[in-house]
Structure 1
């Protein structure tokens, strides 16, 4: 059984998922804000994604961590390294709840998990799949130092693929 890491940054704790995280996750996934991820999602589809995010740790040695504000304990969203049959390559992904946007939390969390994936998991390259209309995620991928890879396989042919190198 894989030990799920807890990572810390100056402001954040990236921690394993808990059942109590479901409500916030579901609110986002059932809303129009999830459109860039293929949503809005039904309860059963969102639940399947929530469970898969956690299950990937035991199946592939990577998965999702919840982003928590260390000072307040508030859950701000999720960051993850996705793998498995739905992902042609290891994918660095992120989602933030609306109130958490615009504070640099996604950059901080994604940077920390990317460093863990390189240093501990020894994943040599990651990709981020981004809907072409999701300008904020494209900017974040670029801020993280990722570059467009037009030749990379992708789950959705319309996705942009940003490649992160170690």
Structure 2
């Protein structure tokens, strides 16, 4: 049998490892999918749907050549969330998406991971711009976008999630602000 392989790079930050999803991440992803935290991405999801969504994270790399990573603690490798460049079919352009599991909330995980993902799309993929699509009711994500230096540029409509804000990230040559 011939297999298809897809290289998903690993990125390390001060405290995090952004890596390919693995089978051992399933329980953390199922827990997230069953929770109310998944509401802003169409959840809650049953176990089988969470499995398919975890597989889609890896598959996005194969189809688009980029994708989201599992965000893991650099020391324990505990999965803390999902972050990275993402382009669903109906989106107007690629985005940097972030999801943080309950255990990681309030620890700066999303900001640290999103900054690493943004550096990847600018430095490795060579993009000159990127946005994040955020549900206006997701106050924590809106605040994070603001902390990352993003500006609200407009909105777009999706069948699955309704109206999402287009939060434009600073250009690669813009001065980088300190994240508080």
Question: RMSD in angstroms over aligned alpha carbons?
Answer: 1.6
* Alignment: residue pair count: 165
Between structure 1 and structure 2, the one with the greater Rg is 2
Aligned residue for 2:176? none
Higher normalized contact order (CA 8 Å, seq sep 6+, divided by chain length): 1
Give the Cα–Cα distance (whole angstroms) in 2 for the partners of residues 42 and 11 of structure 1: 31
1:20 to 5, 8, 24: 24
Structure 1 residue 2, shift from structure 2 partner? 4.3
Structure 1 runs not aligned, ≥5 long: none
User: After superposition, what is the alpha-carbon deviation per residue over 1:103-148, rounded to whole angstroms, capped at 9, x for unaligned?
Assistant: 1111000000110111001122211111111111001111111110
**Runs of 4+ residues deviating >4 angstroms:** none
Contact 1:88–1:154 (8 Å) recurs in 2:
no
Contact 1:129–1:154 (8 Å) recurs in 2:
no
TM-score (normalised: structure 1): 0.91
> Is it true that 1:81 corresponds to 2:85 in the alignment?
yes
> Is it true that 1:121 corresponds to 2:129 in the alignment?
no
> Is it true that 1:33 corresponds to 2:51 in the alignment?
no
Aligned residue for 1:55? 59
Aligned residue for 1:65? 69
Structure 2 runs not aligned, ≥5 long: 173-180
TM-score (normalised: structure 2): 0.84
Aligned residue for 1:103? 107
User: After superposition, what is the alpha-carbon deviation per residue over 1:54-113, rounded to whole angstroms, capped at 9, x for unaligned?
Assistant: 111111111111111112222111112112414321111111111111111110000001
